[in-house]
A and B are shown apart, each in its own frame.
Chain A
Amino acid sequence: MRPLLAAINFRELLRPLGQLLLFSIGSTLVLSAIVLVLSLCLEQTAVGQHLHSRLSVSLYTYTLVNLPQVVIDGLTIGFVYAAIALGYTMVYGVLEFINFAHSEIFAVGAFVGVEILIALDKTGILRSASLGMAYAYLILAIVMGMAAAGALAVAVERIAYRPLRGAPRLVPLISAIGVSFLLQDVIRLTEGLTTGQFNRIMPTFGNFDRRLNMGRIALGDTSIALGISVKSIIVISAAVLMLVGLNYLVNATRIGKAIRAVAQDRPTASLMGINVNRIISLTFLVGGLLGGAAGVLYALKFTRIDPFVGFFPGLKAFTAAVLGGIGNLTGALLGGIVLGMLETFAGAYLGVFTMGAAGSEYKDIFAFSILILVLIFRPQGLMGNNVGQKA
């Protein structure tokens, strides 16, 4: 046991945890401050009066009361985005190529996980499962989703990208877009042939929908309910576990060093005895595993999935990767959290701040405006640089 413990680089375990905490708290504080200031500014205007006449509550109180839930939802989706973004960013770091099929890798993970749970549900064992077994089934679904997505990612690289390795950069990119459409339709066809349904619903089981109440904070004549749903806790902890694991793999293991070496100088890496093709496959595998797990977690959180479920999360995770600095692992974490928080804040408050003129359905404007702004003003992203570097 002792030598095993000594071989673990604890610094590399703690550092990403610290970063995640920092990014979460940072974006919470910044965005909360913005909406609170905005609510104070708008209090006396038509916006404030409109809300008061409707719900007889001041705009500021309304904003404050909703904050805890918004932050938790924002972090939940932010961590999912971060996990998907890592797949884009790892592949970019190693091959300087954007794997647009990654959104479908995510979707396949979601479908495999959900179909397994639906099949289990049909036999009735989900409903009668004890709490421990419910978690075991969920873990099974996540692991199977990961395995399917990981295997698919490796196969896609082998079939659609590797033969194009020496081609101009646009060629594999177009191949990736083609694979993306192909996979969407393969999912749709398979679902159509086997279940005849377009939408699939994550079965309800275990205690995942329960809310844990953690008391209320009194605030004048109202109070803020503090609570978190079990599934948010699951999504956040699973994502944190994966993000820390990946960080450890890349920064503290022999294979991780090889991944960074291949990212920095492929020909020289091969002269070190590194099998470059195997490392590239491994990079796709790791990205696929994360994407697949993110898919099942996404389905757990949002319940309904369809063959195009990967499109928007994929595009947003890509935006998150660009925001953080594509190719940079820490950047993907930062970008995912910031983007998830931003869009959840926008979704929650856009309606009240515009008196219902622009509701939460416009939240995507924020995500994609960020993409455009980053590309114009800071194309290297917030953290710059790539995977080759220590995250």
Chain B
Amino acid sequence: MSLLTLTNIHSGYGHIQALKGISITVEQGEIVTLIGSNGAGKSTTLRTISGMMHPSAGQILFDGQDLSRMEPHTIVLAGLGHVPEGRGIFPKLTVRENLEMGAFTVRSPALVQERMASGFELFPRLKERIDQYGGTLSGGEQQMLAIARGLMMGPRLLMLDEPSMGLAPVLVELIFDIVKALNEKGTTILLVEQNALMALSIAHRGYVLQNGEIVLSDTADNLRRNEAVQKAYLGIN
């Protein structure tokens, strides 16, 4: 059975249907990416999975559990982490406090310390900034903090929304290297990206979203070679 299965999900804001019946699966151990242009429904998909919005129709199964009516804070307990678009760093909490908030559901202080230490191993920069307010970090550091914070809850599936947004190319590469390394250590990843080339370079499989519908799904390699995808999303003519 797949770790995450979306079946015919409809979701939207008020009268606007942002998702018109999408179906996605993510297998244990994979990196799956959702690519598509602005407003295609990529972030809405993640927001619907993590309970920030409720689907108007369809089913979301995570490890056999139906998430579609659950609230975000209980979905976290089920083992699903969501690093939101724009990073969502608490600007007036320190780096340490931000990380502690990521571990809000973790009861064992020893485990919190252990995860914080491995976060600092991934992003040594954060350790140097440990007592600084989140709002004073640079964009790249905030993205590192957002990912490290997402890992604090020990998620079985980590959803990343546009981790490359607003970052210098060298930082984008660093972030993607780390995402790949995390996956190799066993974290399943659902990645939403506008930077389709980068996303497809580390993903196993991908879905192409357009106007709230899945128009294409294949392995990452095949998508990269697909002419339509190249034209529309990879800037290759």
Q: Which residues of A contact B (CB under 8 A)?
A: 254, 257-258, 260-261, 264-265, 267-276, 385, 388-390
Contact = CB atoms under 8 A, between A and B. Distances in A.
B91 A272 contact: no
Interface residues of B, number: 24
A270 B72 contact: yes
B72 A254 contact: no
Contacts of A260: 90, 92-93, 97
- Return the 7 tightest CB-CB contacts between A and B, nearest first: A268-B88, A273-B76, A273-B105, A270-B72, A389-B92, A388-B92, A264-B90
Given A272-B101, A273-B76, A274-B73, A267 B92 contact: no
Interface in B30-63: 50-52
B81 to A, nearest CB: 8
Most buried by A among B71, B82, B93, B101: B101
B88 A257 contact: no
A265 B73 contact: no
Q: SS class of chain B's interface: helix, strand, loop or mixed?
A: loop
B88 A274 contact: no
Interface in B59-109: 71-73, 76-77, 81-82, 84, 88, 90-93, 97, 100-102, 104-105
B45 to A, nearest CB: 15
A4 to B, nearest CB: 14
Interface of B: 50-52, 71-73, 76-77, 81-82, 84, 88, 90-93, 97, 100-102, 104-105, 149, 153
A264 B50 contact: no
A16 to B, nearest CB: 18
B50 A271 contact: yes
A271 to B, nearest CB: 5
A273 B100 contact: no
Contact of B101 (A258, A267, A275, A390): A258
A274 B92 contact: no
Contact of A271 (B84, B91, B97, B100): B84
Contact of A267 (B81, B88, B91, B149): B88
A276 B101 contact: no
A264 B101 CA distance: 12
A276 B88 contact: no
